Amino acid sequence: MSASAEATVLITHEVGLHARPSVKFTKLAKTFAAEVEIALAANGPWFDAKSIVKVMATKAPKGTVLHIRASGDGANDAVDALVELVRRDFDEGADHARIA
């Protein structure tokens, strides 16, 4: 039986899940063997979290609840890591504001 995990996280990043955050999200998702998907609603539609095109196409703005699910080897680790990345504002918090 394959492992699976699910979680939700609130997007607080000022630009939401757009260019830079999407790249960081998909790069992290690709580091896991598990199949990883995201959705903007619990019942879907679900999108491949390892596809930059599909992640950016969600156009998820700030304030969106992002649903993340994974199945296969490392599913729990994948979901945990992606939730933490979103909670950290894709590592673009105060440091990014000073650079911009």
CA–CA separation, 69 vs 82, rounded Å?
10
CA–CA separation, 4 vs 35, rounded Å?
9
Q: Is 18 one of the annotated active-site residues of the chain? A: yes
Residue 47 burial (CB count, 10 A): 18
Residues 13, 18, 67, 96: which is the catalytic one? 18
Catalytic residues: 18
